[in-house]
Amino acid sequence: MDVRTDPAPDRPAPRRRRALAAAAVVVGLAAATAVTLAVTSDGAADGSGTTLGLVPMPVSLEQDGGDPFVLEPTTRVVTVVDADVAGDVRAAVTGVGETLGEQLAPATGFDLARADGPSAAVDGDAGDGDTVEVSADDLDVVPGSITLRLVGDAAGWDPNGPLTDPAAERYALAATSDGVTIEAATPAGLFRGTQTLLQLLPAPVAATSEQPAPAGGWTVPAVRVEDQPRYAYRAVGLDVARRFYPVEDVLRLIDQAASYKFDVLRLHLADDQGWRIAIDGMPELTEIGARTQSGFAPGTNDTGEDWYYTAEDYARIVDHAARRFVTVVPEIDGPGHTLAAQSAIGALRCDGTPAEPYSGFDVGNPMICSSDENMPAVRDYLHGVVTALADMTPGPYLHLGGDEVPDPPDGWYENYTEAANAEVVAAGKTVIGWHEWAQSETLPPGTLVEYWGVGGRNRAGIGTQVETDEVGYMRDAVDKGADVVMMPPDRTYLDMRYDDWSTYGLQWAGFVDLEQAYDWDPATELTSPLDDSLVAVPADRVVGVEAALWSDRTYQNGVLALPDSTDDFVPVQQYMDYLLYPRLPAVAEVAWTPQAQRDYATFVPRLVQHAARWDAQQIGWNRVTDVDWP
C-alpha cells in the first residue's frame, strides 16, 4: 500500500518568550526530594556494590561476607501482617507473595509454598503505618523462608492515591544463609523489595522457561538493603496511538518497567493517527478512529484484530499493572493531535464535517474547533470521554495532553483547557498535561505538568532575555500551583536514535545514547547551568521523571525516509526492545536513586550484568557499542 509522503519530521525550535517575568525567577533552591535513609551504598565487597549488579542502585547496601541464602524447592514465601490490618491491605500483601512465587517459578521450576506468617514471628509493637521505621538491622529472618512483613497497619495507604510520597515505597531487605526478609510499611514497598530480591538471584532466574540451577544454586548473597525512591512518580510512556500495541505487549512492558521499579504507565491513547480505547456511549470513536495507524491507512488492517482496547482489554492492563503497583495514566491528547476524534465526530470541526482519517506522519495538524460558539459540542465530547475514562481507571490521574497546537485562534486553547480541567475535576481525578497546558488560566489542585523541552536548547537561556516559551510555560505551571514531571526528550525520549548506527528511531531531539539518558539531574534540569541562581522550576517542585516511547515512525530508517510499504514496519516488540534496552534501566535509576549516589562510571558495570537477564527474557536489546558488554 501507499503511505503519505510527508516531509521528514522535525520539531520547530521553541519561540523566544515575549518577556521574562522577573518576579518568576526563583532564587535559592530547597534541597531535592528529601531522602531520609543513610547514604551508605559502599559497604559492598568492592566498595561500590558493583558485584551485586542492582539497578536502580539502592540507597543503602551492606554486605558482610556471610554465606548466601540458597533458594530451595522447600523454601516458603511467608507473608506477615498484624491482626488488625484491613482486608484489602492484607490481600495486597498476599498478592505480593503470590506474584513473587509466579516470578520465581518459570526459571526455577519451584512451586514455592506460601504461608501467612505466624503472628509469633511479628513483633508486638508494630505501630501506625505512616511512621514506622523500617530498618534492615533488626529484621527477623524466618528460617528457610522468604518473609514479606508489613510493618504497621498501612492505614494511610491507598493503592489508587496520588503518587506524592517517596517514603511510601520504602523497604528494607536482609538476606542471610537462614532466609530472606523484606519489611515495608506498605504493600507497594514490599513489592519493590521483591524486585530487588529477584535481581540478587543469578541472571537465569529471569528466564521465561525452566533453567538448570546455576553452580552454587539459586543463591542470594548475604546483604542488607535499605531503600526508597528519590521520586514518587516514575513513569514509562507508551504511544499506542501512532502504532497499536496488542495487550500482551503492554503487559510485557509493565513487567519490564516494574522490574526496574517504575510505578506509572502512561498510555497515549489518542492522537491524529488513531483512537485506541472504547468509550462507553461513543462507539464512533473506535469504529472510525481506530482504523488507522501512522503509515497504515483505512483498509490496511489485515491482522484481524481491532486496533483499540476494549473495556475488558483495558481492565486487564490496569489489573496487571495494579498487581505490580503500577498506576495506569490514560492520556487523551487535545486540543491538537485529535484528527482521529475529528474523523469520528464532525461536531469537533467548525464546519461540522468529519476530518479525513489520517495515517500520515505529521504533527501540528488542525486542532479541535474550540471557538466560543462550538464549545457546547466540545464539552459534550470531553464529558463523554472523561467520565467514561474516569470510570474505567482506578488510578487518580487523567492526562489531557495539550502539546503542539500551532497558532490557535485567540481563546480557543484556553476554552479547551478550561472545559477539560472542569470535566476531570468533576470526575474526581487529577489533571496531568504537557507543558503547554500551563497556559490554562488556572490549574486544578494537584495538577502535574510534564516538561518535554530539549535541555540542549532551553537550559542555557533560563532566566535570561532569550528564555524560551517552553521554560516560560514551566514557570507558569509552578506559579499556578502545579508540580512537575521531567521528561526532556534529549534524555528520556526512548524513541530517539542512540547514535548513527541506530536502525530506527527519530533524532529531532538529537541522539540519546546511554550516558545521555543517565547523566543528568531532574532537580536542576530547569536551573540555569551557567548561574544556579536562575531557577525556572525549584527542585522541590519536581516530583517525577518519565521515559517515553513514542511511535511516530516504527519502520526501518524512519528518520531518513518514508516507508515504501507496510512491510518496512518492524514488529512492535522488536521496536520496543531495541529502543528501551539498555536505556530504560538508565532512566529508572535517574528516577529512583539519590543524585549523590549516581555515577555513570559505576552504573555501567552494574548494568552490563543485566544483559544476561535480558537474554533470558528474550529481549531484543541494542548492543550499543559505547559499552563493554560481557
What residues are annotated to the active site?
404
Q: How far is the CB of 141 from ligand TNX (least distance, A)?
A: 47
Rounded least distance, CB 431 to ligand TNX, Å = 15
The DSSP call for residue 4 is: -
The cell for 134 is 523500617
**Is 434 an interacting residue with respect to ligand TNX (CB under 6 A)?**
yes
Report how far residue 84's alpha carbon sits from residue 106's, in angstroms, rounded to the nearest whole number.
35
State the SS3 of 134-180: CCCCCCCCCCCEEEEEECCCCCCCCCCCCCCCHHHHCEEEEECCCCE
Q: Which three cell numbers stand for residue 140?
A: 527477623
Cell 488560566 locates to: 441
Assign 417 to helix, strand or coil.
Answer: helix
By CB under 6 A, is residue 262 in contact with ligand TNX? no
Q: Classify residue 301 by burial, with Cβ atoms within 10 Å: 0-12, 13-18, 19+.
A: middle
Amino acid occupying residue 181: T
DSSP string across 95-137: HHHHHHHHHHHHHH----EEEEPPGGGS-TT---TTT----ST
Q: Give 403 or 515: the residue with its C-beta nearer to ligand TNX.
A: 403
| Residue 272 interacting with ligand TNX (CB under 6 A) | no
In angstroms, what is the minimal distance from the CB of 268 to ligand TNX?
A: 8
Quick one: which of 82, 165, 239, 525 contacts ligand TNX (CB under 6 A)? Answer: 239
Complex with ligand TNX: residue 141 or 509, whichever CB lies closer: 509
Question: For the window 281-300, what string marks contact with ligand TNX as x by the rule CB under 6 A?
Answer: --------------------
Which residues, numbered 382-421, are part of the site for ligand TNX (CB under 6 A)? 403-404
Which residue in the set 262, 275, 504, 550 belongs to the binding site for ligand TNX (CB under 6 A)? Answer: 550
Nearer to ligand TNX by Cβ, of 153 and 331: the residue is: 331
3-state secondary structure of 180: strand
Name the H helices within 146-302.
187-200, 247-259, 284-289
Nearer to ligand TNX (CB atom), residue 3 or residue 107: 3
Q: Confirm if 147 and 117 have CB atoms less than 8 A apart.
A: yes
Task: Count residues binding ligand TNX (CB under 6 A).
Answer: 11
- Asked if 309 touches ligand TNX (CB under 6 A), the answer is no
Output 153 or 495, the one with its CB closest to ligand TNX: 495
DSSP-derived secondary structure letter, 294: T
> Minimum Å distance from CB 362 to ligand TNX?
10
Which one among 171, 381, 493, 498 touches ligand TNX, defined by CB under 6 A? 493
- Give 117 or 453: the residue with its C-beta nearer to ligand TNX: 453
Which residues, including other chains, have CB under 8 Å from residue 92's CB and lie 6 or more apart?
159, 187
The CB-of-569 to ligand TNX minimum distance in angstroms stands at 16
| Of residues 331-350, those binding ligand TNX (CB under 6 A) | none
Nearest distance from C-beta of residue 494 to ligand TNX, angstroms: 9
Pick one of 267, 332, 363, 477: the residue that binds ligand TNX (CB under 6 A): 363
Beta carbon of residue 364, minimum distance to ligand TNX (angstroms, whole number): 10
* 436 to 475: interface string for ligand TNX, x by CB under 6 A: ----------------x-----------------------
**Residue 153 vs 450, nearer CB to ligand TNX:** 450
CA distances to 436, 465, 482 from 19, rounded to whole Å, are 17, 7, 21
In the complex, the smallest distance separating the C-beta of residue 572 from ligand TNX, rounded to whole angstroms, is 15
Amino acid at 349: R
Of 227, 470, 552, 589, the one binding ligand TNX by CB under 6 A: 552
Cell of 101: 512465587
* Cβ closest to ligand TNX, residue 205 vs residue 405: 405
Phi, psi torsion values for 91, nearest 5 degrees: -65, -35
Rounded CA gap, 490 and 453, in Å?
8
Q: With CA atoms as reference, report the closest residue to 277 among 233, 310, 238.
A: 310
Q: Which of 506, 517, 542, 590 binds ligand TNX (CB under 6 A)?
A: 506
Contact 342, 351 (CB under 8 A): no
- Measured between alpha carbons, how far is 108 from 217 in angstroms, rounded to an integer? 10
Spatial contact of 194 and 100, defined as CB atoms under 8 Å apart: yes
- By CB under 6 A, tell whether 495 contacts ligand TNX: yes
Q: Which residues in this chain contact ligand TNX in the complex, by CB under 6 A?
A: 239, 363, 403-404, 434, 452, 493, 495, 506, 550, 552
